[in-house]
Amino acid sequence: MANEDYRHLLSPGRIGAMALRNRIAMTPMGTNQEREDGFLGERILRYYEERAKGGAGLIIAGVAAVTWPDGACNPNQGTLSDDRFLPDWEDFAERCHRHGAKAAVQLQHAGKVAQEDVRYGRPMWVPSVPEPSGRGDMFADLTPEELAMATSAYAAPDAKVEYHVMDEADIAFMIERFADAAERAVRAGLDGIELHAGHGYMIQSFLSPKSNRRSDRFGGSVEARARFLVEVVRAVRARVGAGTALWCRLDGEEIGVEGGISQEDARRAAELAEQAGVDAIHVSAYADPTSGPAFTDAPLVHEPGRYLPFAAGIKQRVAIPVIAVGRITPEAGDTAIAEGRCDFVAMGRRLLADPTLPARLAEGNPEAARPCIYSYQCVGNVFLRTHARCTINPRMGREHLGEPGAAAPARRVAVIGGGPAGLEAARILAERGHQVTLHEREESLGGRLRVSAKLDSEVAGLVAWFERAARSAGVEIRTGHDSSASELLGSADAFVVATGAVRIASVAGAENAVPAESFGTLLTETAGAGVIVVGSDVIGVKAAEALALAGHRVTLLEQHGFAPQMGLPRRWRAADAISRCGALRVQVDAVREVAADRVSFTHEGSRAEIKADHVIWASGLSAAPGFANALRCLGAEVHAIGDAAEVGYLQAAILSASRVAGAL
């Protein structure tokens, strides 16, 4: 595919005084990778540098607090609240420029969602005291450990939930703090400044009629509610001049929020921001912040291109460029720019999965970029107040640790197993110079990931990428032969065993049930069959979700939580989908016996039994170390990875593969 297919996305662009090599921006994201003391630190600097090196035209550093530590939302968050932080931002700008990208910072005050203020007993600054509202299911389906992490700010010794309603002196003070931070950004050599006026933060809370119930000149009409934003824009523009690009991020709508920001509100706010002096509008969205499923409507969009209509509506009302965001593929982004619905496309998770995506597009080889599967572990980790990580890219957040060097000496390495761990290990080993042969007993590659691939096109794309990348690296792949340890013994100097995990029939009669990995055979049945899914790991939950969506009467028996291996936003969506389809979720103490058409269990201390047309066994997953042990007994050098070493599912499997392959 030639780069002509992305000629609009890859064409040069301009935001105010800032000229960009292409129309791809890295969207600002809070990742919790900065230091705890407000400094950026090497970890996040290398993270940003990789995306600049990968070809993005603009790198926007996320959520820099303007009054840090006050008003911070994350325990690890950068800031421009004081001159002492300037050296890190100078370093950030230099690294972006070194690779041809422009550098920008998103300025933010978290306002009513400033968890760090709660943690340390400081009042949260708001336009009005928030009224309790929303679905309130944000903490559903968290494990006890996750719940403790997510609510850790509220459990701190000095924690206190208290609000400070801002008077006009407070508003004037905050306007100056935004202007101070913007001036520091310019002094640090940054090219652009984004004002975060979305996602429930301070400026957005003034814009939203849901959270702004003031009766003074900063509340009421759209123009009055936008006054704070307008005055911030004017103050910042006065400080930084016309030579620095300035834009704001707005919510195109508060989706599903009664009395929230409407699309017309957003369009009018964009007009007012343009009149005040911004050079562009970055269009996102917001939803019910108390609801897990709503969180994947906004600000974390699950539906591809969901916010493009918001961007297009604002584009019709302003003369300045519009930046679109929200799960936009390169193809959709190129088309949107060509059709005049937006001018730039901001990408987030796609650039976490593979920082080189823009470069791959430019060289006409988009298939070489590792695809995002939208498992949302990145955002899920931030919700738990820990470092963002990517399920499928083990280097994300670990860029500062460096890349493995060339193998010395190069050796013959046999990889046993063609699932994600085996394929990742084989690719890295081959790229480092080893002579690699991968052995897979099945005809097809992908291991248990093939189950998800049948249901999810993004996962199917990842399986295809693993195979392409391994072959491109020079891996010899042999499928369809179940070789023994003794057969392979002399074929390699070292063995990497990635034979995965197996389902153990740990309950009487479980062997009579349909294995979870084979549940797809039931999708072809006429809708309405009764199905019991025993076990709620990732595959069990995906089986229940798929069968419920197909119209079957599903009962999911949960014994150890609801898919704790899933990233939280994806878990919330799965639970919501299962619920909407009428499936029944039952927490059980223990499963006692399984038959082909019934399951007995204890529930709240009492024995119970349910019947169905089919029973799926999705429990008892255990590592399969047999092949590795057989090789060790023969005196071979063996390295077990992935579920063959310890059941940890996709993210852990890929991480262990990268670590072993990088060190061998």
Give the model confidence (pLDDT) of 106-137 as tens digits.
Answer: 999 999 999 999 999 999 999 999 988 888 88
Question: CA-to-CA distance for 353 and 465, rounded, in angstroms?
Answer: 12
Residue 565, pLDDT score? 87
Q: What is the band of 5 on the pLDDT scale with cuts at 50, 70, 90?
A: confident
Detail the DSSP E strand segments found in 205-244.
none
**Is 348's pLDDT higher than 80?**
yes
Residue 136, pLDDT score? 86
Which residues, 6 or more positions from 290, have their beta carbon under 8 angstroms from its beta carbon? 133, 134, 135, 136, 137, 138
- Mean pLDDT rounded to a whole number for the chain: 95
Percent of the chain with pLDDT over 70: 100
∠ CA 601-602-603, rounded to 5°: 120
**Is 2's pLDDT higher than 50?**
no
Question: CA-to-CA distance for 534 and 64, rounded, in angstroms?
Answer: 46
Higher-pLDDT residue of 502, 318: 318
Give the model confidence (pLDDT) of 635-663 as tens digits.
Answer: 999 999 999 999 988 999 999 999 999 99
Across the strands, what pairs with 163? 124
| 421, 653 contact by CB (below 8 A) | yes
Percent of the chain with pLDDT over 90: 90
Mean pLDDT of 371-393: 94
Domain boundaries, the chain: 3-399, 403-500+622-663, 510-619
User: Which of the residue ranges 254-258, 521-525, 532-536, 657-661 would you say has the lowest mean pLDDT?
Assistant: 521-525
- Hey, what are 603's tokens? 């529930």
SS3 239: helix
DSSP for residue 112 = G
Mean pLDDT of 556-585: 91
User: Quick check: is 649 catalytic?
Assistant: no
Select which of 6, 47, 201, 376 is catalytic.
Answer: 201
Overall fold of domain 3-399: TIM Barrel (3.20.20)
Residue 170, pLDDT score? 98
Residue 214, pLDDT score? 97
Residue 566 CB burial class (10 angstroms; 0-12, 13-18, ≥19): buried
We find that the CATH architecture of domain 403-500+622-663 is 3-Layer(aba) Sandwich (3.40)
Question: CA-to-CA distance for 479 and 493, rounded, in angstroms?
Answer: 21
Question: CA-to-CA distance for 476 and 427, rounded, in angstroms?
Answer: 10
∠ CA 171-176-179, rounded to 5°: 130
Give Rg (Cα) of the chain.
Answer: 26
- Hey, what are 391's tokens? 């399920």
Neighbour-count burial for 112-138, b at 16+ CB within 10 Å, e otherwise: bbbbbbbbbebebbbbbebeeebeebb
- Whether 403-500+622-663 and 3-399 are alike in CATH topology: the answer is no
Number of neighbours of residue 157 by Cβ within 10 angstroms: 7
CA 66 to chain centre: 25
Pick the CATH number of 510-619 from 3.40.50.300, 2.30.42.10, 3.50.50.60, 3.90.226.30: 3.50.50.60
- Hey, what are 300's tokens? 């974390």
